[in-house]
Amino acid sequence: MNAYAEEIADKIRVAKRSHPARRSLTALPVQNLPAIGNRLSTTEKLIMVGASTGGTEALKEFLMPMPADTPAILVAQHMPEAFTKSFAARLDGLCKMTVKEAEHNERVLPGHVYIAPGHSHLLLKRSGTNYLTELSQSSPVNHHRPSVEVLFRSAAQTAGPNVVGVMLTGMGKDGAVGMLEMRQSGAYNFAQDEATSVVFGMPKEAIAVGAVDEVLPIREIAPRVLAHILSGQRVDKGGSHAN
């Protein structure tokens, strides 16, 4: 409980000293990435994203360049229940992909972004040849529900090498272990760098446990994610490497 209280206090301190240059990143022109078309050899690919403090702007920066036919993206963003639906609707109006608040037991489709609702963990599961969402109101993990840890661990168990993981700005360590499990199951993982993070907590912890393949500024993550997916292999050029 003391650790959680300290985390809240840290968030208040961060809000007071947030770097204005970091907040203004999205004022730069949006990169419009080309459609994937028939260049992807499989429809199994998925992108998992975790974010916390500063994540709303980072997610906007990450999602807006994505073409409409990008593989499905599942997002765990620490956010109160009252705001996740409107946040998803706002992103939907800005992005070429369809962005929505995730519902229980819906089919995960390319071209869609599924935002975890503020009252539930979001998990990935499989039924036959389909990926499905699962919502759970089990206890908070790392003091959070939705928890990045829960999403990433479910992706590691369900989709393994078909996953690309992304850890964006955030306070604490939620998702670090789950991201490591994804990497150990064959996923390729990216983390936002310190210079463009509002809080370099969650990315730093993921790097520290050996969960991250590349560390990049926020504006470089979306194009590198797509390049990796289209390459069909572990890309070893460009960006800073964590291993």
Catalytic-labelled residue, pool 120, 121, 174, 193: 174
Q: What is the pLDDT of residues 141-174, one digit of tens each?
A: 999 999 999 999 999 999 999 999 999 999 999 9
pTM: 0.86
| Cα 164 from Cα 45, distance rounded (Å) | 8
How far is residue 150's CA from residue 51's CA, in Å, rounded to a whole number? 13
Average pLDDT over residues 8-28: 49
Task: Tell me which residue of 200, 147, 208 sits closest to 169, measured CA to CA.
Answer: 200
User: What is the C-alpha separation between 155 and 50, in angstroms, rounded?
Assistant: 12
Q: How far apart are CA 190 and CA 5, in angstroms?
A: 29
Evaluate if residue 77 carries a pLDDT over 90.
yes
Could you give the angle at the alpha carbon of 113 between the alpha carbons of 110 and 116, nearest 5°?
135
Active site residue 18: no
User: Counting every residue, how long is the chain?
Assistant: 243
Query: Which is the catalytic residue, given 52, 120, 147, 197?
Result: 52
Residue 226, SS3 per DSSP:
helix
Looking at domain 40-235, its CATH architecture is: 3-Layer(aba) Sandwich (3.40)
Question: Can 174 be counted among the known catalytic residues?
Answer: yes
Q: 188, 216 in Cβ contact below 8 A?
A: no
Q: What is the pLDDT of residue 39?
A: 66
Q: Give catalytic status of residue 52 as yes or no.
A: yes
| 195-222 residue pLDDT tens | 999 999 999 999 999 999 999 999 999 9
State the pLDDT confidence band at 32, using cuts at 50, 70 and 90: confident
